[in-house]
Amino acid sequence: MVKALITGGAGFIGSHLAEYLLAMGQQVMVIDDLSTGRIDNLAHIHNHPHLTIVTDDIRNLSALEPLVRECDVIYHLAAVLGVQKILREPIRTIEVNIGGTEVVLKMAHRHHKKVLVASTSEVYGKGTKFPFSEDDDTLVGATSKMRWAYAATKAVDEFLALAYHQETGLPVIVFRPFNTVGARQTGQYGMVLPRFVKWALAGEPLQVYGDGSQTRCFGNVRDVVDALYKLAQEPSAVGQVFNIGSTEEISIKGLAERVITRTKSASVIQYIPYDQAYEKGFEDFVRRVPNIAKIMGTIEWKPTTLLDETIDQIIEYMQKER
């Protein structure tokens, strides 16, 4: 039986991945410090005989190393994320995202384990060539703007992971998710779609930052974890970087309108200047669209869940939660 270790496994993507791998007959070990993850995310599988949950910081070697020693593959998802959290805790963001990845890679190298390292579409920064392809140049903002700290730390994570592969032969795969969404995602740290659904269900105004013309592509978490599983099985994926996401592009204003329609809500759209929502001089992406030709060609994967279906899944989940 394959044994998988998921760092950040009580988080949104991590909990869905744990559920998926258990369904595929694997044994799953989760380590999470619960700073953003929640044990409730694992409640439906908590008593599964092939699931082990460890509550600890991945930088704690005494907790992490026994798990790495025992596993066959590591899915490294643990990170500080969410724009609002990053702006509030920039020191922790930098230290956890880089330091945590460093520890995971060292342990993986010591015990000869395959690692899938989560990066982010944010590494493309203010790039203007669309859609974003894995080998495109990246352009992040000035270091005086903490908004870019997350993108910079994840870029360092990528460099470090690929350096381990190049120098030591460590089997590493890097993936860049594009706005992964679905049930169990919280809007607490700035994730836009669950916040929109929550406000619409409560009949409150949907707060759109800026003029709402910025566009995004929202990938369903079920499609994303399917891609991760298949990447882990594919030998030719080792040493490479892959975009994962949907190519169904929508403006944030259009997303708000879509949520209001799907929830049959009487909510209205309220436009909030970026300076008021985040900080003075805040910079945002105009577009964020992935080129997924590489992953489609490598593992014959493509997203299958339309945005309306994803929105409906989030609505159903939040209605149950209420």
Query: 191-238: per-residue pLDDT in tens?
Result: 899 999 999 999 999 999 999 999 999 999 999 999 999 999 999 999
* Percentage above 90 pLDDT, the chain: 88
Q: Would you state the structure tokens that stand for residue 115, as one six-digit string?
A: 């690692």
- Please name the helix (run of DSSP H) or strand (run of DSSP E) that holds residue 250, with its range, or none: strand 249-251
Q: What is the pLDDT of residues 7-30, one digit of tens each?
A: 999 999 999 999 999 999 999 999
Distance CA 89, CA 96 (A): 11
In a domain, 253, yes or no: no
Helices (H) and strands (E) in the chain, counts: 11, 14
**Average pLDDT over every residue of 158-184:** 97
Q: What is the pLDDT of residues 33-44, one digit of tens each?
A: 999 899 999 999
In a domain, 62, yes or no: yes
Q: Which residue bears the tokens 């579409």?
A: 121
Q: Taking the model in full, what pTM does it have?
A: 0.96
Q: What is the 3-state secondary structure (H, E, C) of 273-303?
A: CHHHHCCCCCCCCCEECECCHHHHHHHCCCC
Provide the domain count of the chain: 1
In a domain, 206, yes or no: no
In a domain, 200, yes or no: no
In a domain, 297, yes or no: no
Strand, coil or helix: what is 99? helix
In a domain, 138, yes or no: yes
User: What pLDDT score does 276 carry?
Assistant: 87
CATH number at residue 63: 3.40.50.720
**In terms of Cα–Cα distance, which of 61, 59, 32 is closest to 46?**
32
In a domain, 101, yes or no: yes
In a domain, 116, yes or no: yes
Concerning whether 20 is annotated as a catalytic residue, the answer is no
| Peptide bond just before 90 cis, omega within 30 deg | no
Q: Residue 37: which domain range?
A: 3-181+219-245
User: What pLDDT score does 83 carry?
Assistant: 80
Q: Which residue bears the tokens 């049930």?
A: 183
User: What pLDDT score does 187 carry?
Assistant: 74
The catalytic position among 20, 75, 124, 150 is 150
